Chain A
Amino acid sequence: MKYALGPIQYYWPKQRVEDFYKRVALSKVDIVYLGETVCAKRRELKTQDWFDIARMLQDAGKEVCISTMTLLETPSDLTMLKRYCDQQEFMVEANDLAAVQVLSEQGANFCIGPAVNCYNPQTLALFIDKGLKRWTMPVELSRDWLVKIVTDPILENKRQDFEVEIFAYGNMPLAYSARCFTARSENRSKDDCKLCCIDYPQGRIVNSQDDNQLFVINGVQTQSGLKYNLINELKSMQGIVDVVRLSPQSESTLELLDQYQANEFGDHPIALDRAQECNGYWHKIEGMRAV
């Protein structure tokens, strides 16, 4: 099993991002996804800064993948996307079909992130024919759904051509909007957001009126209120899943990686904190539940 760190979903100051990846370089993680995937206004790091970090991680032996924006709305969003797709040093993760279009026109191989709708083996086969090398399943799908996809006869001769990755830890990205909910929560308009999401390194928690932790708002993204945690499901991934993705946390991300690696074969299970964690989607029930 390989382990990956997904893109940082939150808006962190540049120094914090650089310090984080310096520690990542020394860790046992195999694959690192880099880049801003949520909001084009978040520019603490410029394109060049991301490439510098990418090279530093590559020199440290990590496989680096540049992850791209999910909701692309303007011509300048596309220009930025093309800049990331035009380089040849690193593979690119497409989080919108715009990226698939640009990359397949170039004949480049690519990864597909969890916000691209791929729900069946026929769609996956179509992406493989265009150059897909690694696919992260949409977060709302179950193990059962995944097994049906990867064991479908139409993929029989293609299974060696791509890897399957699962979003396994963190607040799941559940929705994207035109509206910035963090700005709204501070009574600001999006145009006048003052990049206030930088004050919330792990997003803002949304509770129901009876104190259930429902969602986390992170700019234009809405995340699950509970953290998805598949640490005790790693054994059930053997033979189906190639890469386990952890989403960077404001604290203790690399300790988490150690825990995951220790429990790869189920030897060191950790009981879920049901007030904070869930794993329902994997078990084909409501995402917010824990089994």
Chain B
Amino acid sequence: MVIDMELLCPAGSLSSLKAAVDAGADAVYIGFKDDTNARHFAGLNFNDRQLQQGVEYIRQHQRRLHVAINTFAHPDGILRWQAAVDKAVAIGADVLIIADLAVLDYCHKRYPDVEIHASVQASITNAAAIQFYVDNFNVKRVVLPRVLSIHQVRQLVKQSPVEIEVFAFGSLCIMAEGRCYLSSYLTGESPNTAGACSPAKFVEYKETSSGLETHLNGILIDKFADDEKAGYPTLCKGRFDVDSERFHVLEEPTSLNSMSMLPELMAMGISALKIEGRQRSPNYVSQVTKQWREAIDNCRAAPDSFKPSPATEQCLSHLSEGSQTTLGAYHKKWK
């Protein structure tokens, strides 16, 4: 079965956007340089001049541009979120990715013809919730959180009146996105309120006699022996103690890689595969996009015999956090 599956790649900068387009992305998603964007990191994202150049590049190459306005509007800040919607529409974005109901409502009423996708931050995991977004805001696509098994995803695709997009590769968020306050519990800032999880300004690396420690706002997240590679202290990937046992209580520092499931994802009718990583380098974006472009094309040509090549696996694993990848929740055993 041949279906149209969009490869949607991340761009935290103009160079990454060009890298994604050059490597074969069908569409690129970006965000503005403010807290309307859930990857609101220092040094990332697009100012107005870069935006204009980015849009031109996308147009020249006939790809699609998605703009993520995917945080929740602050109580006195709705005008900022509405302005972000206005700006995205004005630059000619093909799609707006939105999480907040107030922002969805504004966009739908003000720009009824603009294509809206419900962001992963909207935390939609079932058919009734999809219907809510379709009935109220006429969303054309829903991005699923990384908490469903492949069987559950298949069931939802069957029931959904609109397109379904899933995460294919990149950092693995193990909680239902948009419903995780672990970061604000430790730092005061969460993806929902500040557009970032475990923000870099709270991170500290401390060399001690017993190893390298990583801290987040003064809280010890992990400690590494000399032969271990120290990871970024994303708080759900630390080593903690439960009773007397020390382990990765919530999750190991691994990344999602669903490439081995590509034939299944294609056959069930997934409309788009999203590559995570607007915070990553242009080189990373380029390499990952290239591997996935090739895989999707190969799989489309011969789904029955598709298997990621060892070279591809090695390349993707090398690019991944802790050099480890997992199928995450798609694979039931992960749970």
Residues on A lying within 8 angstroms of B by beta carbon are 70-75, 77-78, 81, 96-102, 115, 117-123, 126, 138-141, 145, 148-149, 152, 172, 174-181, 184-185, 189-191, 204-212, 214-215, 217, 222, 224, 280-281, 284-288
User: How far, in whole Å, are A100 and B135 apart by their CA atoms in the complex?
Assistant: 12
Contact between B128 and A175, CB atoms less than 8 A apart? no
User: How far, in whole Å, are A63 and B80 apart by their CA atoms in the complex?
Assistant: 40
User: How far, in whole Å, are A121 and B76 apart by their CA atoms in the complex?
Assistant: 9
Contact between A209 and B241, CB atoms less than 8 A apart? yes
Q: A78-B128, A126-B136, A280-B188 are in contact. List 5 more A-B contacts (CB 8 A).
A: A96-B129, A120-B74, A141-B193, A179-B251, A208-B220
User: How far, in whole Å, are A141 and B185 apart by their CA atoms in the complex?
Assistant: 11
Q: A97-B124, A117-B179 are in contact. Are A287 and B184 (CB under 8 A)?
A: yes
How many residues does chain B have at the interface if contact means C-beta atoms less than 8 Å apart? 72
Contact between B174 and A177, CB atoms less than 8 A apart? yes
User: How far, in whole Å, are A73 and B217 apart by their CA atoms in the complex?
Assistant: 34
Q: A119-B72, A122-B102, A208-B240 are in contact. Are A287 and B185 (CB under 8 A)?
A: yes
Of B102, B127, B243, which one neighbours A126 at CB under 8 angstroms?
B102
Of A123, A178, A222, which one neighbours B182 at CB under 8 angstroms?
A222
Contact between B242 and A74, CB atoms less than 8 A apart? no
Q: Does B49 contact A (CB under 8 A)?
A: no
Residues of B within 8 A of A96 (CB): 123, 125-126, 129
Q: A179-B174, A286-B217, A288-B185 are in contact. Are A98 and B190 (CB under 8 A)?
A: no
Residues of B within 8 A of A123 (CB): 73, 100-102
Q: Does B148 contact A (CB under 8 A)?
A: yes
User: How far, in whole Å, are A120 and B148 apart by their CA atoms in the complex?
Assistant: 28
Q: Could you give, for residues 298-335 of chain B, a 1 whenever the CB lies within 8 Å of some chain A CB and a 0 otherwise?
A: 00000000000000000000000000000001001111
Contact between A98 and B220, CB atoms less than 8 A apart? no
Of B102, B129, B184, B245, which one neighbours A72 at CB under 8 angstroms?
B129
Of B74, B127, B223, B238, which one neighbours A78 at CB under 8 angstroms?
B127
Within B106-165, the residues touching A (CB, 8 Å) are: 106, 122-129, 131-133, 135-136, 146-149, 152, 155, 159
Within the complex, what minimum Cβ distance (angstroms) separates A82 from chain B?
8
Within B64-92, the residues touching A (CB, 8 Å) are: 72-78
Q: A117-B100, A120-B72 are in contact. Are A71 and B184 (CB under 8 A)?
A: no
19 A/B residue pairs, CB under 8 Å, sorted by A: A72-B126, A73-B125, A73-B148, A96-B123, A101-B128, A117-B178, A126-B102, A126-B105, A138-B181, A138-B192, A140-B192, A175-B176, A176-B179, A177-B175, A204-B243, A206-B240, A207-B242, A286-B184, A286-B217
Contact between B149 and A178, CB atoms less than 8 A apart? yes
Contact between B123 and A101, CB atoms less than 8 A apart? no
User: How far, in whole Å, are A176 and B332 apart by their CA atoms in the complex?
Assistant: 17
Q: Does B219 contact A (CB under 8 A)?
A: yes
Q: A71-B125, A81-B128, A217-B249 are in contact. Are A174 and B73 (CB under 8 A)?
A: no
User: How far, in whole Å, are A93 and B99 apart by their CA atoms in the complex?
Assistant: 22
Contact between A120 and B185, CB atoms less than 8 A apart? no
Within the complex, what minimum Cβ distance (angstroms) separates A175 from chain B?
4
User: How far, in whole Å, are A220 and B34 apart by their CA atoms in the complex?
Assistant: 32
Within B179-214, the residues touching A (CB, 8 Å) are: 179-182, 184-188, 190, 192-193
Within the complex, what minimum Cβ distance (angstroms) separates A117 from chain B?
6
Residues of A within 8 A of B223 (CB): 209
User: How far, in whole Å, are A222 and B129 apart by their CA atoms in the complex?
Assistant: 23
A285 nearest CB neighbor, chain B only? B188
Of A119, A204, A224, which one neighbours B75 at CB under 8 angstroms?
A119
Within the complex, what minimum Cβ distance (angstroms) separates A181 from chain B?
6
Contact between B132 and A97, CB atoms less than 8 A apart? yes
Within the complex, what minimum Cβ distance (angstroms) separates A73 from chain B?
5
Contact between B242 and A205, CB atoms less than 8 A apart? yes
Q: Does B259 contact A (CB under 8 A)?
A: no
Q: Does B18 contact A (CB under 8 A)?
A: no
User: How far, in whole Å, are A181 and B240 apart by their CA atoms in the complex?
Assistant: 13
Contact between B75 and A214, CB atoms less than 8 A apart? no
Contact between B73 and A178, CB atoms less than 8 A apart? no
User: How far, in whole Å, are A99 and B251 apart by their CA atoms in the complex?
Assistant: 30
User: How far, in whole Å, are A73 and B129 apart by their CA atoms in the complex?
Assistant: 10
A72 nearest CB neighbor, chain B only? B126
Q: A209-B241, A222-B182 are in contact. Are A101 and B175 (CB under 8 A)?
A: no
Residues of B within 8 A of A287 (CB): 181, 184-186, 188
Contact between B186 and A71, CB atoms less than 8 A apart? no
